[in-house]
Amino acid sequence: MNHRLPLDIKVGPLCADDGTVFRINSKYMDVCDQPFCSRQWAVGGFFIALMGTGAAFFFSMTPVLQNWLASGDISGSIQIFAIFLPAALGFGYLTFHVGRDEFFSLTRRTIRFHRQEKKLFLIRRRRFLAKPGAGDICWEVPWSDRTIFCVHKGKMNGFNNYQIMGYVLDEAGLVERAFAIGKDWLGDLGLEYLLAQWNYYCTYMNDGPENLPSPMLYLSEKEDIRESFLHCVYEIDHSAGIVFRTIFMPAFLGLTFFRILSLSTCRAPIWPANVERLCSLDAGEIHAQPTGTTPIGWAATVHAKRRNEYPHFPRMEIIGWSGKSESRNAELWAEDTSPLNYEASYRCGAI
């Protein structure tokens, strides 16, 4: 609650997207959930857990087979069996838990910000036996005080990392559902981008797309091999030099293989029919993007920026911002008490 993000008050001096948007128009905006940009790491974890399952199961069975083939004292075998069988079950659970959303699932779990309904529609999981019009499993989350959006701090490789988390409360005020929006932001500089990102989402929901800056890029809804490779490169470091990328090329190729393998078993999400009806666009929709010559994906956008056909650092300054500077504001949000709460701009306890 100390880091609750308000829906109607700006949380920083800038408004910008950091590569989370699929499409945008006057009715809705589609953005990615947090696992989308880093699913290759989850697939890597799946294979590690799978190998652990196989190894633990093998070692748990070996003593038993040995005693079946040759008589002898089985007490040592029982001890080994008691150690490795639970390990096999544990790794097996991790394999299923990590892999169920990465294989034979969905290529993306879109989060749709719907302005008119004041709701978020979230594709959560593939529905294999769907009735006509049911689509995939979809949550409806109110864009209201019943949903707590907050800055969530975690640790990654010894550094702070941040996410935009949403918590839906039930009638008793307890957390009923939780989800992560967008991506991970690493370090205090990443927190600056996160706050600018939240301003972007709120500006769209409150004021519409008319004055929004362009997103950093429009994510591709149909990834090819090149796009998957660039996801793996830029997810680690946007601005790394040629030497760094050359040294770590084997790692990039391995992660790309994991990402492609996962996506090749998945299909695009299917929205329920009632959501599709709410999101139908008029023929004269002028704010629908990406359309025409607008670049889609990392490769096309990078080339368009080099030709000066797409803004290099699209962002918008918040007019009338009276808070701290961008870096100092992020430092305050990283502390145990966020600046909005002790400057009385927003009452953290309101639900």
Q: Which of 35-39, 81-85, 186-190 has the lowest mean pLDDT?
A: 81-85
Task: Tell me the two tokens of residue 272.
Answer: 């329920």
Residue 203: CB atoms within 10 A of its CB come to 19
Name the one residue in this structure whose structure tokens are 């500077």: 325
Distance CA 274, CA 281 (A): 14
Q: Please say whether the beta carbons of 193 and 16 come within 8 A.
A: yes
CA atoms within 13 A on the CB side of 142: 10
The answer to whether residue 176 scores a pLDDT higher than 70 is yes
Distance CA 17, CA 314 (A): 8
* 158 or 312, which is more confident: 312
Name the one residue in this structure whose structure tokens are 């959006």: 149
Highest mean pLDDT of the ranges 10-19, 51-60, 80-89, 237-246:
10-19
Q: Which of 11-20, 258-267, 278-287, 293-302 has the lowest mean pLDDT?
A: 278-287
pLDDT single digits (tens) 69-116 = 555 555 556 667 777 778 888 888 889 988 888 999 999 999 999 999
Distance CA 86, CA 68 (A): 21
Q: Please say whether the beta carbons of 36 and 108 come within 8 A.
A: yes
Distance CA 141, CA 164 (A): 15
Q: What is the share, in percent, of the chain residues with pLDDT greater than 70? A: 91
Rounded to 5 degrees, what are φ and ψ at 238? Answer: -65, -40
Task: Tell me the two tokens of residue 6.
Answer: 């308000």
CA dihedral (11, 17, 18, 20) positive or negative: positive
Distance CA 263, CA 232 (A): 13
Q: What pLDDT does residue 117 have?
A: 93
pLDDT single digits (tens) 218-244 = 999 999 999 999 999 888 777 777 888
Instruction: Please give the mean pLDDT across all residues of the chain.
Output: 87
Distance CA 137, CA 160 (A): 32
Distance CA 163, CA 185 (A): 6
